[in-house]
Amino acid sequence: MEKDAPLAATGTPSLMAQAKEMMEGYTLRARKGLGQHFLISQGVLNKILLAADLKPTDTVIEVGPGLGVLTEELLKKAGQVIAVELDDKLVTALTEKFKAYPNFRIIHSDILKTSPAEILGQNIPYKLVANLPYYITSAVLRQFLEAEAKPELMVVMVQKEVAKNMVAQTGDMGLLTLSVRFYGNPSLVSTVPGGAFYPPPEVDSAIVKVAIPQAAIMQGVSEADFFKLARAGFGTRRKTLLNALAQGLGVSKQSVLALLNRAGIEPARRAETLSMEEWKMLCLVYTENPC
């Protein structure tokens, strides 16, 4: 993972006090089953906001607003903030907390059962800015990246190991890396210690920024074929591409060997060693003449 300036290991005292006051006032508690760890660090907030580069014309979707610490800062900078929250008590608390903000809207829903198009209600550009619950991180990333209404930018807080996979370079890439890079350009903003949250999680986090260009990075590549090959290639990571693809695609080694030869890829290589350009070539060849 890229190096970055370290953040304070503990939360900001005033934000900690605010968090405890709100939790007591609304009889709230961090629900472990929903992966709730509330952000209490001003330094982390500042880094998220800087990465999001918000303008008064921006529409922001925030997943899992928690106690609204990030939400409040988003409301000051963006034209509209739409928060999606599953916890009914938090929905009530946040509705009351931000009733004076005309640019705030909250949706009481499971984000994994609600598409971006349903959230927005119209086809408009938007940014995803969120401190994602660890247990649904990959699913949420996939939902927004694969959606017809994709964000133009994602700034998300995720588990540090997930962030490492998201920004991995050739040689260390995994299926998550390919999934992100198929649609956008990921970069690490900063690592975040557990003390920046209340209650503190057992692992560190990281802020990742994903810029999603209007023109598809893998233009001309079949999305279905790309992920079919990627899942097969990474299905058995210790195997060579020849063996992994043959097993994953359910075809003969002779067919896979012919495919790899046409793509100019050595059959003894492993999936994680391929660059995005090589994956693109492999997919184009496969689409033209499947095994």
pLDDT at 24: 84
Distance (Å, whole) CA 5 – CA 115 = 35
Q: Which helix (H) or strand (E) holds 156?
A: strand 153-159
**In the predicted structure, residue 119 carries a pLDDT above the cut 80:** yes
Mean pLDDT of all residues in the chain?
Answer: 91
pLDDT digits (tens, 9 = 90+) for 205-248: 999 999 999 777 888 999 999 999 999 999 987 899 999 999 99
**In the predicted structure, residue 102 carries a pLDDT above the cut 80:** yes
**In the predicted structure, residue 4 carries a pLDDT above the cut 60:** no
**Structure pTM?**
0.89
Compute the average pLDDT of residues 113-128: 94
Most confidently modeled range among 14-28, 35-49, 274-288: 274-288
Is the four-CA dihedral 47, 53, 57, 59 of positive or negative sign?
Answer: negative
In the numeric block, the tokens 């303008």 are attached to: 55
Distance (Å, whole) CA 229 – CA 226 = 5
**In the predicted structure, residue 110 carries a pLDDT above the cut 50:** yes
Measure CA 291 to chain center. 33
> Which residues fall within 8 angstroms of residue 231, CB to CB, at 6 or more apart?
175, 248
Q: Which helix (H) or strand (E) holds 49?
A: helix 42-52
pLDDT digits (tens, 9 = 90+) for 25-79: 878 777 776 667 888 899 999 999 999 999 999 999 999 999 999 999 999 999 9
For residue 207, the cross-strand partners are 157, 190
Burial class (CB in 10 A: 0-12, 13-18, 19+), 71: buried
Compute the average pLDDT of residues 5-34: 71
**In the predicted structure, residue 141 carries a pLDDT above the cut 70:** yes
E strand residue ranges, 235-288: none
